[in-house]
Chain A
Amino acid sequence: GQNIDQPTEMTATEGAIVQINCTYQTSGFNGLFWYQQHAGEAPTFLSYNVLDGLEEKGRFSSFLSRSKGYSYLLLKELQMKDSASYLCAVGDSNYQLIWGAGTKLIIKP
């Protein structure tokens, strides 16, 4: 079957760093995506990894290890506006997105 696991909820402090992990088992792999979703809004694209390694984009970085079926999203210099759900999604062999349940990130002052 297809399975994507990520923690349900995480809490971090403003200004700190947080790492959100995602593990996956899917039929085929055409890239791993991270999306940010604020409550009541649609997801917005954050990052896309198809090769192993770290992709850095400003305060956000995403890492992928295909052999381990593992990715993480790293958020630095956390701001209150980063409070949101972070969704991990994998493109399968049919180019469909398989979604994780999302990680709710709570930022405290």
Chain B
Amino acid sequence: GAVVSQHPSWVICKSGTSVKIECRSLDFQATTMFWYRQFPKQSLMLMATSNEGSKATYEQGVEKDKFLINHASLTLSTLTVTSAHPEDSSFYICSARLPEGSVYEQYFGPGTRLTVT
């Protein structure tokens, strides 16, 4: 099956610093990747849709200058949380969609837990 990895699995950073999270599709090429955020006891919230070779599409209310997304290759998308604040502490999950484009074919990474102190 399709496998998606994320790195790091967890990270602790100080307020004001930046953190980069990587999302990789290991055994398939993903033209589209999604970045989600999940706060404790809440559902997934889509932050942005990342398409290879083009700018990401951000959901309403998500600051594109704060959450920088780069999808430079068909197997890698990165999310950089800039000038992190404690309220950015959350579980960040990426998913990747197969090139065939069916919404059915979406696979999730294991998630990255970010704690900002």
Total contacting residues, chain A, CB less than 8 A:
18
**Given A87-B44, A96-B49, A42–B110 Cβ distance below 8 Å?**
yes
Decide yes or no whether A30 CB sits under 8 A from chain B.
Answer: yes
C-alpha gap A96/B49 in the complex (Å)? 9
Q: Is the interface of A mostly helix, strand, loop or mixed?
A: loop
Determine whether the beta carbon of B108 is less than 8 Å from that of A99: no
Decide yes or no whether A43 CB sits under 8 A from chain B.
Answer: yes
Interface residues of A (CB under 8 A from B): 30-31, 40-45, 48, 87, 91, 95-97, 99-102
Interface residues of B (CB under 8 A from A): 34, 42-46, 49, 91, 93, 101, 103-104, 106-111, 113
Extra A-B contacts (7), CB below 8 Å, given A96-B46, A99-B46: A41-B111, A42-B111, A43-B108, A96-B49, A97-B34, A97-B103, A99-B43
Instruction: Provide a sorted-by-A list of 15 A–B residue pairs whose CB atoms are within 8 angstroms.
Output: A30-B103, A40-B91, A40-B113, A41-B111, A42-B93, A42-B108, A43-B44, A43-B93, A44-B108, A48-B104, A87-B44, A95-B101, A99-B45, A101-B42, A101-B43
